[in-house]
Amino acid sequence: MPNPILTRVAMSSPVYDVDCQKAEETTNSISKILARVPRPWFRRNADVNEAQEQHAEEVSATVREPEKDAPALEVTVAESEQAEPAVVSVKKSHRGCAVVILRDSALLERCVLQKVAVIDGICCEIRRHCKKSATEEERAAKQGLFVAWGNRVERRVSVSEEGLEAYFNSLVGAPVPEGLEVTRPFDECHQVFLLASEAGAMMSPTVGVDEATKEQIANSCFCSAGSIVHLWDAKKRIDDLWNKPPPPLARSLMTRVARAELFPHSDTGGKEHDNRAGDKLSEVADIVGLLEGVPPGSAFLDLCGGPGAWSQHLLARTDLSLRGFGFTLKAGAGDADDWQCDEKDEWYDDLYKHPAWTALWGEDGTGDLLKTGNLEHCASMLAHHQVMLCVADGGFSDKAIPPNQLELYFYRLFLGELLMAAYCLKPGGKFVCKLYTTFSTATAALLFLTTRLFDSVKIVKPMSSRTTGPERYLVAAGFKDNQQTNAIRNALMRSHNLGAGNSPLTTPLLMPVIESANLLRDAKFAASMREMTTGLCERQATAMHAVVDRAEFLEDMAMSTAVSSSSHWYKAAVERRRHLLAAQGFNEEGENEHDDRTERRERRDRKDRKDRGGHGEHRHRGSATAHHDSRPAWHSVPTPARAGARRSDGRYNGWQ
């Protein structure tokens, strides 16, 4: 490969004590001097022998230092080769990540601030790399970057070491993009809304199955149509960004990084518990004082709570010595039309082994709260226990749910959880339940009844709950067991039985227990509902629009700094790697030239067997589900920029 170095020597007002002949010799020997300059991963030319090096030193010694007032010798070299490359080393893992060591601390800080890059057509995340056990001095000395693109992408298409080296070398001297500093739309904080009612309301005289339609959300009595449409527009932007075809590949990484930049607290979780759910309950408990006043030795029910992070959190309070019970959907239970649970969502093994915790599965053994007889069976099992706390983290997401109607399909589960709490709690007990949006009259009616069943009712959205999601928590304290409670229980049970054990996917919605006109007559409740529903709606819409804007900026910025495989940066990286392998006795395929042919064949066979064993299962899974894939045609085009990172069929539906 020809040497790409471009050299220009210019002298202005020379004041050197050198004759013309010596000056010509100096010019002719510059190439010899440059040949002695060390470069990473290159070996010196073998033809530069000791005599040539000695001659170059003698020639360079004839050039005196210029006088103070004399202009200096100006030597302009192509910037890419003027100094050692910025990248010291690249260590790549088969798990879809790499560690890149840099020489330049300023470049490292720029990359950490940039956070993302597009390398070999794949979206990558960039973070500072250093071992957790490293001292401050070691952290300052080792200038490393951790670059990740993900194991799922790595299985199909990979980022090369040459691509990594070329990309970071190309950033030397490049202008820093504007807009890297993040401007957040609002500060993260806990959201708490008080719900209250003045008096009881008349129950609806007729109950029955209702049809779930988009209009039941759009015509909300507690939020303006403009705010709801603004939220739907934000969701559509998210979906459009998700469905946008490559390049670049693995674009969802941009959305995730954008969300983490704008809302860092809500994007973290699972640090102190086995999953994020435990962190959320911990925050809710701290915000409202959930466990204050709970008698030691009393019991709790973890309802629809698999795999059990909430049970773990409550059992960890050894000072309370709580007795725990769990009721959740069993994996593989139910018919084909029923909602299903994955094995990973069943109870943790350590809960089964805990002496103070018991799993309940209902009359039919499925753990399905909506099946006929299971709720009553569970309530009878708890009748002789002092249940002072009922926590419900039930929820589901399915492709069959129409856009923007998750709240309506969640209604029957919310009703069953509230009814279970009304049956099993003792006077003074507390109830925590996860909710989604609260636009519809059906949901509002259940919240109204909650204000009649408990002394205090709050809607809480902790910081650990994603700002871009609809999730929020109902926290009710001071359960009242009186005549009104009995009437509410009977009304809720009548509605619950109308579901007839059907899946919420086939029978999602029932008629409201209280009509909207009666709800609006209670001015106190109507005002508190409007404040909560509108406030959380506008906050979610603002957050989602901000995330899309930031993700689009990150992608544009990353694409503008991407390096083509035909660039001189890439070619130089390939050449350096070729020299490095040659210096270590390997050919371009990574085989040692000194090994005999038999050893090379055996090593190649072992590598092939390892590759088939590690990735064959994933290829089989992909092909088995290909005929169910409803994604656009470009998702399956096996081009280098698209081969991998297709989202799974179980796409997260949390934007609802």
CA 496 – CA 370 distance, rounded (Å): 8
Residue 434, token pair as written in the block: 């996860």
Q: β-strands 97-102, 144-148: how paired?
A: antiparallel
Instruction: With a cut of 60, say whether residue 44 has pLDDT above it.
Output: no
> Would you say 514 and 201 are in contact if contact means Cβ atoms under 8 Å apart?
yes
Instruction: With a cut of 80, say whether residue 649 has pLDDT above it.
Output: no
More reliable by pLDDT, 269 or 425: 425
Q: What is the mean pLDDT of residues 247-273?
A: 84
Q: What is the pLDDT of residue 612?
A: 64
**DSSP collapsed to 3 states, 242-270:** HHCCCCCECCHHHHHHHHHHHCCCCCCCC
Q: What is the pLDDT of residue 348?
A: 93
Q: What is the pLDDT of residue 132?
A: 66
3-state secondary structure of 154: helix
Contact partners, residue 439, CB within 8 Å, separation at least 6: 216, 217, 220, 222, 223, 228, 407, 533, 537
Q: What is the mean pLDDT of residues 385-393?
A: 97
> Catalytic pick from 115, 371, 430, 434?
434
pLDDT digits (tens, 9 = 90+) for 552-579: 999 999 999 999 888 888 888 888 888 8
Strand stretches in 70-165, DSSP E: 74-77, 87-93, 97-102, 116-119, 122-129, 144-148
Least confident segment among 272-281, 318-327, 593-602: 593-602
The share of the chain scoring above pLDDT 70, in percent, equals 73
Instruction: With a cut of 50, say whether residue 283 has pLDDT above it.
Output: yes
Q: What is the pLDDT of residue 141?
A: 60
Instruction: With a cut of 60, say whether residue 281 has pLDDT above it.
Output: yes
Instruction: With a cut of 80, say whether residue 456 has pLDDT above it.
Output: yes
pLDDT digits (tens, 9 = 90+) for 90-103: 999 989 999 999 98
3-state secondary structure of 320: coil
Q: What is the mean pLDDT of residues 415-424?
A: 97
Q: What is the pLDDT of residue 333?
A: 75
Q: Which amino acid is at 393?
A: D
More reliable by pLDDT, 654 or 309: 309
What confidence category does residue 397 fall into, taking pLDDT thresholds of 50, 70 and 90?
confident
Based on the residue annotation, tell me whether 610 is a catalytic residue of this protein. no
Burial class (CB in 10 A: 0-12, 13-18, 19+), 376: middle
> Would you say 608 and 597 are in contact if contact means Cβ atoms under 8 Å apart?
no
Q: What is the mean pLDDT of residues 7-22?
A: 37
Strand stretches in 41-138, DSSP E: 74-77, 87-93, 97-102, 116-119, 122-129
Residue 184, token pair as written in the block: 């957040």
User: Distances in Å between the alpha carbon of 366 and those of 84, 254, 409, 502, 535?
Assistant: 66, 40, 20, 14, 38
Instruction: With a cut of 70, say whether residue 26 has pLDDT above it.
Output: no
Arithmetic mean of pLDDT over the chain: 80
Q: What is the pLDDT of residue 47?
A: 39
Which of 320, 327, 323, 283 lies closest to 300, judged by CA? 323
Instruction: With a cut of 70, say whether residue 242 has pLDDT above it.
Output: yes
User: Distances in Å between the alpha carbon of 518 and those of 197, 270, 445?
Assistant: 12, 42, 9
CA 354 – CA 331 distance, rounded (Å): 21
What confidence category does residue 597 fall into, taking pLDDT thresholds of 50, 70 and 90?
low
Return the biggest CA–CA distance within the chain: 115
Most confident listed range (91-100, 394-403, 527-536, 594-603): 527-536
How many Cα atoms are found within 13 Å in the side-chain-facing hemisphere of 529? 29
